[in-house]
Amino acid sequence: MNSSLNVCIVDDDDIYQFTIVKTLKALELTDRIMVFSDGEEALEFMLDNINEDDELPDVIFLDIDMPVMDGFQFMEEYVKIKSNIGKKITIYMVSSSVDPADIERAKKISEITDYIVKPITHDQLKSIIQELESNGGL
């Protein structure tokens, strides 16, 4: 399939980063993948490229628990800049946390499409990417 989607992984776990990138490439879902180790790095990238729709991600897989700026802090800042971004960005919160408080907090943020408990399966990734493409959800 090899989509032209820009996929962004924001997660501080090196092993998770490696496996999700390898899975995306193995399934030929996209070859446009950017990886950030915390929310601040991802936010800075977005601010630096705010007028460059081709550079900005189409979908973000966002962890909760990260150093410097966690997933919820990233979302607080993202909501502030969202109106300045010229494209729709789909955000999935991805975490190993099964804490109902985390899940409920994520569901209250309208910019988060869904909450996924790690690990993301091959089928989940494939389904998400295909849905984004077929629904023109970009």
Q: Which CATH number fits domain 3-134: 3.30.2130.30, 3.40.50.2300, 3.90.180.10, 3.40.50.300?
A: 3.40.50.2300
Q: Report how far residue 130's alpha carbon sits from residue 124's, in angstroms, rounded to the nearest whole number.
A: 10
The answer to whether the Cα torsion of 95, 121, 35, 61 is positive or negative is negative
User: Residue 130: which residues within 8 A CB-CB, separation 6 or more?
Assistant: 1
Domain ranges of the chain: 3-134
pTM, two decimals, is 0.93
87-108 pLDDT, tens digit per residue, is 999 999 999 999 999 999 999 9
**pLDDT at position 138:** 44
Q: pLDDT per residue over 36-72, tens digit each?
A: 999 999 999 999 999 999 999 999 999 999 999 999 9
Q: With a cut of 60, say whether residue 81 has pLDDT above it.
A: yes
